[in-house]
Amino acid sequence: MRFITIRFKTLVLSLAVLLALCAGTAAAAGAEAQSVYFAGARSLPIYSVEREDRRVALSFDCAWGVDYTDSLLETLRKEKVRATFFTVQFWAEKYPAYLKKIAEGGHEIGTHSATHPYMSRLTKTEIEKELTTSSEAIEKVTGRRVELFRPPYGDYDDLLIDTANEMGLYPIQWDVDSLDWKDLSASDIVSRIVSRAKSGSIVLMHNNGLHTAEALPIVIDTLRANGFEFVPIGELIYRENYTIDHTGRQFPKNAA
């Protein structure tokens, strides 16, 4: 999809989103699709971060295709926003030029596994291999150490989270799900994101979502108008002296 520059189209989408928000903000607050669904004490990834500076992180999972990636990168460049991309090893190896382009755009790159499996079904050895080879594939192209990991399908167990932590990787989920992989309209994607975002949110999108590139400029403009700033996940999270509560929200130690 070509980069969207037609202001009229942007205005129409913005108006549609505004109407949707006015009608559905209260319902959205009580119907968040993504939640921690395990009961009891668990090893949890970071879903969001306790912050008061209204910073949020935009993230994109890369597993299949690059059709809309140039448009996404152009929007991020134009808006001076740095985001986080999680790439699967086979995607990184198939599209090294795009991996390099993402890195050169100043964006952060984390691993999304080697083969995109349900990782809660793997042994510790299999997990270590998935994380090691995928990180190495990214580092070979970018020259940067991989520090973040997002489990495919959002699927995890204690073994996966503990192993990732042992390997020096921060396991990352999200608290705002765009559902762009369901081919929602651009206005629906924007509505979902802007109605759920709060200080410390991590937003999930996909580089090859059908209408993600169309929605992205409106997401950025609307969140900025609401006082939000954008940083990569690595600059949003706390690197040490932190706790994670039962919802997956990360707090500075002694603040939870």
Name the CATH superfamily housing domain 44-252: Glycoside hydrolase/deacetylase (3.20.20.370)
How far is CA 102 from each of CA 74, 85, 111, 135, 214, rounded to the nearest angstrom?
A: 11, 8, 14, 15, 19
pLDDT in tens, 165-212: 999 999 999 999 999 999 999 999 999 999 999 999 999 999 999 999
Report the candidate in 226, 216, 237, 153 with the shortest Cα–Cα distance to residue 195: 226
What single-letter amino acid sits at 60? Answer: F
Least confident of 29-43, 156-170, 240-254: 29-43
- The answer to whether 210 and 1 are in contact (CB under 8 A) is no
Q: Dmax of the chain from CA atoms?
A: 53
Which burial class, exposed, middle or buried, applies to 166 when counting CB atoms under 10 A from its CB (0-12, 13-18, 19+)? exposed
Distance, in Å, from the CA atom of 212 to the CA atom of 18, rounded to the nearest integer, reads 18
- How does the average pLDDT of the chain come out, rounded? 88
**pLDDT above 50 for 243:** yes
Contacts of 44 (CB under 8 A, 6+ apart): 36, 161, 244, 246, 248
What single-letter amino acid sits at 99? Answer: L
Question: DSSP string covering 166-213, please?
Answer: HTT-EEB--SEE--GGGT--HHHHHHHHHHH--TTBEEEEETT-TTHH
pLDDT in tens, 66-123: 999 999 999 999 999 999 999 999 999 999 999 999 999 999 999 999 999 999 999 9
pLDDT in tens, 127-152: 999 999 999 999 999 999 999 999 99
pLDDT of residue 94: 98
pLDDT in tens, 219-228: 999 999 999 9
CA 255 to chain centre: 25
Neighbours of 158 (CB within 10 A): 13
Q: What is the percent of the chain with per-residue pLDDT over 70, rounded to a whole number?
A: 84
pLDDT of residue 41: 73
Q: How confident is the model at residue 33 (pLDDT cuts 50, 70, 90)?
A: very low
**pLDDT above 50 for 39:** no
**pLDDT above 80 for 12:** no
Tokens standing for 57? 């992180």
**pLDDT above 90 for 5:** no
Give residue limits of the domains in the chain.
44-252
pLDDT of residue 256: 52
- To 5 degrees, how large is the angle CA 146–CA 249–CA 228? 80
pLDDT of residue 254: 77
pLDDT of residue 255: 62
